[in-house]
Amino acid sequence: MTVYGLLNLPAWQVALITLALTHLTIAGVTIFLHRAQAHRALSLHPIPEHFFRFWLWLTTGMVTREWVAVHRKHHARCETADDPHSPQVFGLRKVFWQGAELYSASAKDAAIVERFGQGTPDDWVERSIYSRLTWQGCGLMLIIDVALFGVYGIIAWAVQMLWIPVMAAGVINGVGHFWGYRNFETPDASSNVSPWGILIGGEELHNNHHAFPSSARLSMRWWELDVGWLYIRMLSLLGLAKVKKLPPQAILVAGKQVVDMETLKALLVARMHVIRRYSKEVLHPVTRAELCRSEPHCRRIERRARKLLARDYLDEAGRKRLEALLAGSQQLKVVYQFREQLRQIWERNAPSQEALLTSLQDWCQRAEATGIQALEGFSRNLRGLELVGAQR
């Protein structure tokens, strides 16, 4: 064996192989750990499941049950003091640079792992090797890299070890809750980091994921590329994976004027789509009409106002700006209040489905009596809402 390892490859070829190996690690995280284990959005055949478990042991040393527990707690306590890694709580700099440490601190908490880590693999291999010998896998990877690539193997190994702490803990958990665009107004700060995120396997579509956490597909718009979903479809075609859950779809049935149980079911299941339609069909036109009557350069003001009205998650400064905005316009105050009342229908603990249905019927009647054309139109369309099967 030479100083360049058994393969005796030039540096540029080692760099390409290293990127391919890190991409395989990202695929293991997003397909196995995240979508299959944490959210049960798909099931994997034993062949890819065991491969991903072994590969992640080699390249990350992460324990499946611990990773799943920390991630599930993140969803359950998102943007609160109990969130394991929220940049809204800890600050972006800390989460980006010390995200792996924040993850490790939560993963060592036995109470968190016991409560949120149920249902993960618990066979002999998991108990005796992957969970007990966590650093030995990474050590074995170092030996393999050095044997194959020689001195370049040390750099290749370092990149592999840093890939998940930087890309997952830093970019996704940090930047993904601080900066980007939002398709859905979830009650947290999640954002889609980039429309093209091959390096992160689709995980960059973080706002989409928080809107529909149990979906195996993270892309929502035609131009959003979810590489992880492409791999899942390939595995499905080979009989190595089975998709269980996808985002719900709802349609507007023409001529339907009765708010019934089908309307309520569609609202509860597809609420993220409904609230997005409300922003587009009610908040946007009313904001434009209220703020652009005499202001020649109102587009920027209108856009900022729309964001304030639509966001569920606002900091203290944002809440103060929202209060000032609503104090200056009665119509904006009305449409904002109706948005909040609509959201409360699926958040309240009603004694029965019939009670929820009565609340929705009352909401529609009051909305159509406001005299606000956009709100009245939205309410009439809402009456025709029905749920359909998700398209695969």
Give domain limits for the chain: 11-243, 251-388
- Which tokens is 168 given? 């997952």
Q: Where are the alpha helices (DSSP H) in 298-329?
A: 299-310, 316-327
Q: What is the pTM of this model?
A: 0.89
- Which tokens is 59 given? 């390249």
| pLDDT < 70 regions, the chain | 1-2, 195-196, 293-300, 302, 389-392
Q: Which residues contact 240 (CB under 8 A, 6 or more apart)?
A: 44, 45, 47, 48
- Distance, in Å, from the CA atom of 226 to the CA atom of 219, rounded to the nearest integer, reads 6
pLDDT tens for 287-307 read 888 887 555 556 667 677 777
- Distance, in Å, from the CA atom of 39 to the CA atom of 25, rounded to the nearest integer, reads 19
CA–centroid distance for 85 within its chain: 14
Residue with tokens 């070829």: 13
Work out the number of other CB atoms within 10 angstroms of the CB of residue 232: 26
Q: Where are the alpha helices (DSSP H) in the chain?
A: 11-27, 46-59, 64-76, 87-90, 92-107, 110-116, 124-125, 134-149, 151-164, 206-211, 227-237, 261-269, 271-278, 284-291, 299-310, 316-327, 330-347, 353-367, 373-382
pLDDT tens for 63-78 read 999 999 999 999 999 9
- Distance, in Å, from the CA atom of 160 to the CA atom of 30, rounded to the nearest integer, reads 16
- Distance, in Å, from the CA atom of 230 to the CA atom of 273, rounded to the nearest integer, reads 23
Question: Tell me, what's the pLDDT at 297?
Answer: 57
- Distance, in Å, from the CA atom of 273 to the CA atom of 185, rounded to the nearest integer, reads 10
Question: Tell me, what's the pLDDT at 130?
Answer: 97
CB contact at 8 A, 177 and 86? yes
Question: Tell me, what's the pLDDT at 309?
Answer: 80
Q: Encode burial over 4-42: b for 16+ CB neighbours within 10 A, e otherwise.
A: bbebebeeeebeebbeebbbbbbbbbbbbbbbbbbbebb
Question: Tell me, what's the pLDDT at 296?
Answer: 56
Question: How large is the greatest C-alpha to C-alpha distance in the chain, in angstroms?
Answer: 83
Question: Tell me, what's the pLDDT at 236?
Answer: 98
Q: Which of 357, 358, 301 is nearest to 325 (CA)?
A: 301
For residue 246, the one-letter residue type is L
Question: Tell me, what's the pLDDT at 2?
Answer: 66
Question: Tell me, what's the pLDDT at 391?
Answer: 39
For residue 60, the one-letter residue type is T
Question: Tell me, what's the pLDDT at 390?
Answer: 38
